[in-house]
Amino acid sequence: MEIIHVPNDLEELDFVKEVKDGIAQANCSVHILGNEYGKTLEFDEAVSHDKFQFQEARRRIEEARDEFKMFIWYPPEILVADKEDKQVQFINEVRTSILKNMIFTNTDSPIRLVDDIRTMMTFDEKTKFEIKEAEVFIIFNELDQNEADEIVDMLGDILDPIEKLNIIQESDMDYSEYCVQQIGVSKLVTVFFKNTADWALPFTQQIWKKVGGASSHTPILLIGTSEPASNVNKAFRAPRVVSLIVAGELIPLEIKVQYDNAVKMASG
């Protein structure tokens, strides 16, 4: 871990700049609560240096740009110690303003605190796929490739660009992560099935959860052919998801209808 430390004895403007730059560069911040309010800002004597750093880090979380985390350590010995009135007010303010990605802890040792930070900040590096902006992103199983290719050909006359993904069962590709990245730059995602309903439903449910469920910006169309008859009533019902079973020849038209609805909703 690379540590950015901002000394308290810097000139005021240098301190403010270092705090802002450090928080902008970091993946997380660590705030240790003591029993003294400490040095205050010259331009706002009601705000201590510690409080300013806390406010700047919290502002980054509120902007929700990424998975930035704040770790706030309130050591047990400080918890029971006498504290300045201003510091008591600041600690109460911190404790009542916890947001997602803010971790408040009373762990009894700095070693355990560091272990907790390392554990929470460790993550698997996700593969960055080559993705392209698309009007429609259509996903299908390799067993339905012929029908899916025909649909894409017909849609290509009225919608462009279209991105397609053929799910090959024995591939090592991380299809789930690729879908998340491609869906983020697509106006409508369509999961098509004819002979693969048992694959399409759980797959749609999986990617729906990964892109944020009801809060996703991109609607999902799960669409299957009315033949074979076993496809009847195959549906995944959830916010931002439309499930349809229609005659094969009508599928391009239904995709266009759902695309128009998605564009209309996105434009307000």
**Beta bridge partner(s), residue 138:** 164, 190
Q: What is the pLDDT of residue 59?
A: 92
Q: What is the pLDDT of residue 153?
A: 95
Q: What is the pLDDT of residue 206?
A: 92
Q: Indicate whether this model's pTM tops 0.85.
A: no
**Beta bridge partner(s), residue 162:** 136
CATH class (in words) of the domain with range 134-266: alpha beta
268 pLDDT higher than 60: yes
Average of per-residue pLDDT values in the chain: 92
Q: What is the pLDDT of residue 229?
A: 96
Tell me the domain boundaries of the chain. Answer: 12-121, 134-266
Which token pair is 81? Answer: 């110690």
The rounded Cα 188 to chain-centroid distance in angstroms is: 18
Q: What is the pLDDT of residue 5?
A: 84
* 263, amino acid identity: V
170 pLDDT higher than 80: yes
pLDDT digits (tens, 9 = 90+) for 199-257: 999 999 999 988 888 878 899 999 999 999 999 999 999 999 999 999 999 999 999 99
Q: What is the pLDDT of residue 8?
A: 76
Instruction: State mean pLDDT over 13-20.
Output: 93
Q: What is the chain written as a DSSP string? A: -------TTS-HHHHHHHHHHHHHH-SEEEEE--SS---B-SS-TTSBHHHHHHHHHHHHHHHT-S--EEEEE--HHHHSS---HHHHHHHHHHHT---TTEEEE--S-HHHHHHHHHHHH--PPPP------EEEEEEEEGGGHHHHHHHHHHHTTT---EEEEEE-TT--S-HHHHHHHHHTTEEEEEEEESS-HHHHHHHHHHHHHHTTGGG-SS-EEEEEES-SGGGTT-----TTEEEEEE-GGGHHHHHHHHHHHHHHHHT-
* 228, amino acid identity: P
Which token pair is 9? Answer: 């004895």
pLDDT digits (tens, 9 = 90+) for 41-79: 998 999 999 999 999 999 999 887 678 899 999 999 999
Instruction: State mean pLDDT over 111-129.
Output: 81
pLDDT band at 124 (very low <50, low <70, confident <90, very high): low
